[in-house]
């Protein structure tokens, strides 16, 4: 029984704050009430980041609201959750973070076609203030160009 894949929670700030270098798709170790809340769309990764603890990767500060129909078995909304990657990928990421000072940011949380929760993460480098200004200028010029084209076509 396949369900419609409509859950796609994005971290919109990540592309503005960071220059994305390499992307990975990781599984997440979740409790029963956590996956049910995610399927309802009650999760946020806007303020979250990834961190290594004992050679394992965890997503910190991800908010999954408590499941409304649960009893006292409910989960803690701000728990750190383990990300599931191959050992080779974990070693590569850990080496990059340690040596070059890069960071790992979550980009989007989604449910795949098999019904499993997955998180797309990226190895990223923080942007400088002038890079952010440049991105804002680019966005504004594209917006103005679209408005001019629309006015010209009408």
To the nearest whole number, what is the mean pLDDT of the chain? Answer: 84
Using pLDDT thresholds of 50, 70 and 90, give the confidence band for residue 121: very high
Give the confidence band of 4 by pLDDT, cuts at 50, 70, 90: low
Query: Domain count of the chain?
Result: 1
Question: Is 87 within the bounds of a domain?
Answer: yes
Residue 79 maps to a domain: yes
Is the model's pLDDT at 150 over the cut of 60?
A: yes
- Is position 15 within any domain? yes
| Assigned token pair, 79 | 């728990």
> Is there a domain that residue 148 lies in?
no
Which bin fits 102, alpha (ψ -120 to 50), beta or left (φ > 0)? beta
Decide if pLDDT at 149 tops 70. yes
pLDDT tens-digit map of 9-25: 888 888 878 888 889 99
Mean pLDDT of 117-139: 85
Q: pTM of the prediction? A: 0.75
Consecutive H or E run containing 58: strand 56-60
How far, in Å, CA of 39 to CA of 111, rounded?
8
Task: Tokens for 98, please give them.
Answer: 């340690």
Q: Which domain holds residue 33?
A: 8-127
CATH of residue 82: 2.40.280.10
Question: Confidence band (pLDDT; 50, 70, 90) for 88?
Answer: very high
Handedness of CA 5, 6, 11, 13 (dihedral sign): positive
Burial class (CB in 10 A: 0-12, 13-18, 19+), 150: exposed
Q: Is residue 88 part of a domain?
A: yes
Q: Flag whether 14 is in a domain.
A: yes
Helix (H, G, I), strand (E, B) or coil at 63: strand
- Report phi then psi at 65, rounded to 5: -65, 155
Measured between alpha carbons, how far is 67 from 36 in angstroms, rounded to an integer? 7
**Does some domain include residue 82?**
yes
| pLDDT above 70 coverage of the chain, percent | 95
Q: What is the pLDDT of residue 1?
A: 43
What is the Cα–Cα distance from 63 to 57, expressed in whole angstroms?
17
CA atoms of 133 and 144, how far apart (whole Å): 17
């Amino acid at each position: 029984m396949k369900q419609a894949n409509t859950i796609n929670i994005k971290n919109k700030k990540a592309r503005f704050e960071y220059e994305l270098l390499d992307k990975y798709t990781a599984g997440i170790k979740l409790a029963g009430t956590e996956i049910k809340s995610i399927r309802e769309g009650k999760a946020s990764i806007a303020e979250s980041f990834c961190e290594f603890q004992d050679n394992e990767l965890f997503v910190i500060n991800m908010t999954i609201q408590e499941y409304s129909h649960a009893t006292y078995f409910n989960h803690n909304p701000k728990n750190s959750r383990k990300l599931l990657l191959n050992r080779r990928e974990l070693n590569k990421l850990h080496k990059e973070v340690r040596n070059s000072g890069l960071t790992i940011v979550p980009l989007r949380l989604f449910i795949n076609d098999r019904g499993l929760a997955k998180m797309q993460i990226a190895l990223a480098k923080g942007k400088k203030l002038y890079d952010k200004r440049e991105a804002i200028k680019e966005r504004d010029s594209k917006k103005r160009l679209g408005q001019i084209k629309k006015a010209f076509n009408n």
